Amino acid sequence: MQNRTYAADVTAGESATVAGWVHEIRDLGGIAFLILRDTSGKLQIKLEKDEMDEDLVETGLGVHRESVVSVTGDVKEEPRAPTGFELVPESIEVISEADPELPLDPSGKVDAELPTRLDNRTLDLRKPEVKAIFEIRAEVLRAAREAFRDLNATEITTPKIVATGTEGGTELFPITYFGREAFMNQSPQLFKQLMAGSGLETVFEIGPIFRAEEHNTPRHLNEATSIDFESAFADQHEAMDAAEEIVVAVYEAVAENCEEQLDALGLAETFEVPAGDFPRLSYEEAIERVNATGALDEQLVFGDDLSTEAERALGEDVGTFYFITSWPSEVKPFYIMDEDDDETLSTGFDMMHPRMELVSGGQREHRHEKLVEGFEQQGLDPEQFEYYTKMFKYGMPPHAGWGMGAERLVMTMLGLENIREAVLFPRDRQRLSP
C-alpha cells in the first residue's frame, strides 16, 4: 500500500495514512477513540462527535472490532494517548468489515483454550504475545543459519518422500507414490550422511520430519521441524561442540534482537543466555544421578531409556543444559558407531534442556562391513538401503552429526507449556486442518 505509515512510525505535525485492524472503540460520550492496531503497534484515532464530519464519526464508531480500516489525518502529540500520539482523521475507509461474532478475542480480554486458538491462528497471531513466539522462532532459525555458516556448513534440502524409514521406535506414515508404497521421511539422517561423504563435507538442513507417534503429549508432534547437522572428519565430541555453539548463538541472537518480543511474553527480565560448556555426563553417570535423586519408584538399570520422569529429575538436579554421552549401543540406531574400546557402548549422545531432550546425535558408523552388520542386528534389510550403504564403499570419511527439534528449542527457550504453541498449524493425532 503506497504512502502507508506504520502506527509506530507516525510523526507529530505530519499527515499520515495508517492501515490496520480496529482493536477497540472507546466511546466516552462527546469524544470517542478508535484504537487501530497494525504489526508495529497501536495508534489512537480521535473522534469528536460535535466537531467532526458526521459521516466520518459514524463510520469510525459503527465499524466492528477487527475490521480492517485505513485512516488518513494529522498526527498530534497527545501525552494521554497510549503511545503519546493521536491521529485526527480526515477520512476513514473500511477496507474489510469483520463479523461482529468473533471466534476468539484478539484483544486478549477473554482467554481462549488452545484448540480454539489453533483453529483460528489468524486471529490468535494478532495478539502481541502470540505473534512474539513466531517472531522469535524466525530469529532462532535465522541465527541458526548464520551460526552454521560460521561452522562452514552448506545448507541442503533433502527428499521428504522416501522408500524406507531410519528411526526405529516411531512409526512411518505410508503414502502412495504412483502405485508404489512410500513414506514421509522421519529424518534426513541418511541423506545428510551421504552429503558428509560428498565434496560438501559439512552440511545442515532445517526442514520437516514426520513421525507417526501414537501418543499425544505436550512435547511430541507428528510433523516437527528438525535442525540437522553433519560433518566429515568430526567425532561425537566435535559434534557436541557444534550443537552447543548453535544453541548459545540462537539464545544470544534472541537476547539481542528480540527485546520487544521477550517483553510481550513477560520474559524481558528473566531471559538468560546459556554460558556454554554444558556438562557432559556419561549415560552411566546419568542413571546413577537419577537413582540418587530418589524421584523414581524403580531404580534405573543399564540399558533403560530415560523416562519423562527420569529426564525431569535429572534436569532439576543438573539445572542447566547438559549432554548424556556413551549410551548403550542397543538403544541407539544402526548408524551410530560403537565406542572403540567397548562395543556395548555407543558414541551416541543427547543434548538435554533441563525440561527435556533437544538433540540426538553421535559419530556414525562409516565402515561398510560394520554398517551392514548393524542393519541386520536391527532387523532391517540392508538391500533396501543399498543406495546408502553402497556409497560407503567409495571413500566415506569418519563423520558425526545431530538433529535438534526446532519446536522444542523454542518451547524450552520461552517456557511454553505445550509444543503446539511453537507451531503455527500443528499436526497431531486429532489435528489435520488447518
Question: Looking at the annotation, which residues are catalytic?
Answer: 211, 213, 219-220, 357, 360, 408
Q: Take residue 364 and report the three cell numbers written for it.
A: 556414525
From 50-58, 64-72, 124-132, 352-360, give the range in contact with ligand AMO by CB under 6 A. Answer: 352-360
**Nearest distance, CB of residue 350 and ligand AMO, angstroms:** 7
405 binds ligand AMO (CB under 6 A): yes
Alpha-helical runs (H) found in 54-120? 54-62, 114-119
Residue with Cβ nearer ligand AMO (89 or 333): 333
Q: What are the φ and ψ backbone dihedral angles of 94, each rounded to 5 degrees?
A: -85, 115
β-bridge mates for residue 137, sequence order? none
Which residue stretch of 1-9, 76-84, 288-296, 400-408 sits at the interface with ligand AMO (rule: CB under 6 A)? Answer: 400-408
Q: Does the protein bind ligand AMO through residue 278 (CB under 6 A)?
A: no
Which residues, at least 6 apart from 214, have a Cβ–Cβ distance to it below 8 Å?
171, 429
Report the nearest approach of ligand AMO to the CB of residue 381 (Å). 19
Question: Could you say whether residue 235 binds ligand AMO (CB under 6 A)?
Answer: no
Cβ atoms 5, 71 nearer than 8 A? no
Stated as kind and residue range, the H or E segment containing 386 is helix 386-389
Q: Which is nearer to ligand AMO, 17 or 347 (CB)?
A: 347
**Among 221, 246, 310, 414, which residue interacts with ligand AMO (rule: CB under 6 A)?**
221
Cα separation, 43 vs 18, whole angstroms:
9
Site for ligand AMO in 359-388 (CB under 6 A): 359-362
Specify the DSSP element, H or E, that contains 340. none
Question: Interaction with ligand AMO in 86-105: which residues (CB under 6 A)?
Answer: none
The answer to whether residue 407 forms part of the interface with ligand AMO (CB under 6 A) is yes
Cis peptide bond N-terminal to 434, omega within 30: yes
The answer for residues whose C-beta is within 8 angstroms of residue 16's C-beta and 6 or more apart is 5, 10, 72, 73, 74, 75, 87
Tally Cβ neighbours within 10 Å of residue 50: 8
**What x/- string results for residues 137 through 176 when contact with ligand AMO is judged by CB under 6 A?**
------------------------------x---------
Residues binding ligand AMO (CB under 6 A): 167, 187, 189, 211, 213, 220-221, 224, 226, 228, 357-362, 401-405, 407-408
